[in-house]
Amino acid sequence: MDGKRVLIIGLGLIGGSIALAIKKKHKAVIVGFDVDETQAKLAKSLDIIDDITDSLEEGVKGASLIIIATPVQQTEKIIDQLAMLSLEENVIITDVGSTKKSIVDKSSVLKNKNAIFIGGHPMAGSHKSGVIASKAHLFENAFYILTPDTNCQKRFVNGLKNWLEGTNATFIEMSPSQHDKLVGVISHFPHIIAASLVHQLAHVEEEEQNISRFAAGGFRDITRIASSSPIMWRDILLHNRDVLLSLLEKWELEMTSVKKMLKKADENEIYDYFSSAKQFRDKLPERSKGAIPSFYDLFVDVEDYPGVIAHVTGILGGRDISITNIRIIETREDILGVLRLSFRSEAERQKAKTLLSEYRYETYILD
Ligand SMILES: NC(=O)c1ccc[n+]([C@@H]2O[C@H](COP(=O)([O-])OP(=O)(O)OC[C@H]3O[C@@H](n4cnc5c(N)ncnc54)[C@H](O)[C@@H]3O)[C@@H](O)[C@H]2O)c1
Ligand SMILES: O=C(O)C(=O)C[C@]1(C(=O)O)C=C[C@@H](O)C=C1
């Protein structure tokens, strides 16, 4: 694919990460287009893309692959715009949107263009937005769902997989409706619940000042995704309305049964509720695969003195162990500090644990 042109429309977290993944395996020229000029300039200055184009009309010229990485309502508008342009013969057009049915339906406007549209959705991401958060390894070991038309030739699907090889993702094909149903349960609905928990806290705080100060690990873990882009989630909810409305009905029934259980105060029943959920959760597929991102966390008890973080990170850095995330858990600030360090693999976490123990740091794994 050397020397070929790739156009990426939307240079945010996902567009940027896909560009970096393509660069790992191909010497193609990556051209970027974004309505937000600062994102495009940033992508260029970080070498995530090779060139900026300021119009779709220019950008599609000579492009063998077009990737649309914008919020899903914009994606539909862009497909309409592409249908009005003169495209290269057999150009592959794909998207990365979190919904598939509306987008794939819309792609029928490209039918007479000799363009091949293959819907796509890399099942990994972050609550962060913008090109600055892009990573070449964002999709490593994640599922990458493709929704090719049933009559799409295999060579085009394989061509797209070849372009995206550097994601190191596992490709899986399904229909757009199946995608929306499945992803509704494991991704879209949990985002509604996360946002609703935050709203619940905000409402309580109207009566009890400063209560959010005490929000500890559990609340923070379950609501991390509530910090995601509201534009992205507005669009997703509007696209997957029917699936989500049906899940909300099931959720109402679930909550009604929890209410009944609590009113009865039957300790066995309450135990079973949590125990069966734990058993199911513990059996989820290996963390290295799937929609749940890989976090290998290590908790380190540290005394609260200036420079302690630099000491811990220095020890690990000295042995080339890279930390993917670091957080200070503040709930124990009066006694001890707790550092939560995240690593990319179990092996790195174990290495860090052994090394920090040699320096007499107490460490815990809480999986
Ligand atoms: N964030 C995630 O975790 C995640 C994971 C998988 C898929 N997705 C999907 O990927 C897509 C992009 O999400 P993101 O997280 O990269 O968002 P982002 O906000 O980081 O980036 C989106 C970019 O699109 C640009 N944009 C908006 N409208 C445009 C238009 N008409 N033309 C050109 N550029 C336009 C924005 O300026 C922005 O730079 C969404 O469809 C989302 O559903 C997101
Ligand atoms: O990790 C996160 O922050 C995400 O929300 C990523 C997540 C998900 O729900 O798993 C969000 C939306 C995408 O379509 C795919 C992945």
What CATH number did the domain enclosing 307 receive? 3.30.2130.10
Give the ipTM of the model, two decimals please: 0.99
Q: Which of 222, 256, 282 is the last residue of a domain?
A: 282
Q: Does residue 67 form part of some domain?
A: yes
More confident residue, 218 or 276: 276
- The CATH number given to whatever domain includes residue 241 is 1.10.3660.10
Total number of residues shown for the chain: 367
Check pocket membership of 227 for ligand 1, CB cut-off 6 A: no
Region 235-261: what's the mean pLDDT?
98
pLDDT at 287 over 70: no
How many whole angstroms from 8 Cα to the centroid of ligand 1? Answer: 11
Q: Which of 282, 304, 333 is the last residue of a domain?
A: 282
pLDDT at 123 over 90: yes
Same domain, 140 and 265: no
The confidence score (pLDDT) of residue 332 equals 43
Residue 238 lies in domain: 179-282
Same domain, 51 and 161: yes
Check pocket membership of 324 for ligand 2, CB cut-off 6 A: no
pLDDT category of residue 291 using cuts at 50, 70 and 90: very low
Region 31-37: what's the mean pLDDT?
98
Region 208-237: what's the mean pLDDT?
91
The confidence score (pLDDT) of residue 333 equals 39
The confidence score (pLDDT) of residue 347 equals 87
How many whole angstroms from 301 Cα to the centroid of ligand 2? Answer: 30
Q: Does residue 287 form part of some domain?
A: no
The confidence score (pLDDT) of residue 217 equals 79
Same domain, 169 and 111: yes
Q: Does residue 207 form part of some domain?
A: yes
The confidence score (pLDDT) of residue 329 equals 67
Q: Does residue 288 form part of some domain?
A: no
Report the distance separating Cα 291 and Cα 82, nearest Å.
30
How many whole angstroms from 90 Cα to the centroid of ligand 2? Answer: 31
The confidence score (pLDDT) of residue 214 equals 83
pLDDT at 306 over 90: no
* Max Cα–Cα distance, the chain, nearest Å: 69
Check pocket membership of 123 for ligand 2, CB cut-off 6 A: yes
Region 321-336: what's the mean pLDDT?
66
The top-scoring range by mean pLDDT among 192-201, 286-295, 317-326, 327-336 is 192-201
Same domain, 225 and 266: yes
Same domain, 149 and 258: no
Report the distance separating Cα 25 and Cα 113, nearest Å.
28
Region 207-222: what's the mean pLDDT?
86
How many whole angstroms from 329 Cα to the centroid of ligand 1? Answer: 30
The total number of structural domains in the chain stands at: 3
Report the distance separating Cα 54 and Cα 69, nearest Å.
16
SS (H, E, C) the chain: CCCCEEEEECCCHHHHHHHHHHHHHCCCEEEEECCCHHHHHHHHHCCCCCEECCCHHHHCCCEEEEEECCCHHHHHHHHHHHHCCCCCCCCEEEECCCCCHHHHHHHHHHHHHCCEEEEEEECCCCCCCCHHHCCCCCCCCCEEEEECCCCCCHHHHHHHHHHCHHHCCEEEECCHHHHHHHHHHHHHHHHHHHHHHHHHHHHHHHHCCCHHHHCCHHHHHHHHHHHCCHHHHHHHHHHCHHHHHHHHHHHHHHHHHHHHHHHHCCHHHHHHHHHHHHHHHHCCCCCCCCCCCCCEEEEEEECCCCCHHHHHHHHHHHCCCCCCEEEEEHHHCCCCEEEEEEECCHHHHHHHHHHHHHCCCEEECCC
How many whole angstroms from 163 Cα to the centroid of ligand 1? Answer: 20
Same domain, 127 and 168: yes
Check pocket membership of 139 for ligand 1, CB cut-off 6 A: no
Same domain, 151 and 202: no
Q: Does residue 291 form part of some domain?
A: no
Please give the model's pTM, rounded to 2 decimal places.
Answer: 0.84
172, 179, 187, 231: which to mutate for ligand 2, most atoms within 8 A of CB?
A: 187
- The CATH number given to whatever domain includes residue 44 is 3.40.50.720
Q: Does residue 104 form part of some domain?
A: yes
Check pocket membership of 298 for ligand 1, CB cut-off 6 A: no
Same domain, 168 and 209: no
Q: Does residue 255 form part of some domain?
A: yes
Check pocket membership of 9 for ligand 1, CB cut-off 6 A: yes
Report the distance separating Cα 27 and Cα 102, nearest Å.
33
pLDDT category of residue 290 using cuts at 50, 70 and 90: very low
The confidence score (pLDDT) of residue 299 equals 87
User: Judging by DSSP bridges, how do beta strands 296-302 and 362-364 pair with one another?
Assistant: antiparallel
The confidence score (pLDDT) of residue 292 equals 43
Query: pLDDT (tens digit, 9 = 90+) per residue, 148-192?
Result: 999 999 999 999 999 999 999 999 999 999 999 999 999 999 999
Same domain, 163 and 188: no
Q: Which of 131, 152, 175 is the last residue of a domain?
A: 175
Check pocket membership of 133 for ligand 2, CB cut-off 6 A: no
Same domain, 278 and 309: no
How many whole angstroms from 293 Cα to the centroid of ligand 2? Answer: 8
**Ligand 1 nearest atom to the CA of residue 122, by list position:** 6
Q: Does residue 335 form part of some domain?
A: yes
Same domain, 62 and 210: no
Instruction: Compute the mean pLDDT over every residue in the chain, rounded to the nearest whole number.
Output: 92
Same domain, 149 and 234: no
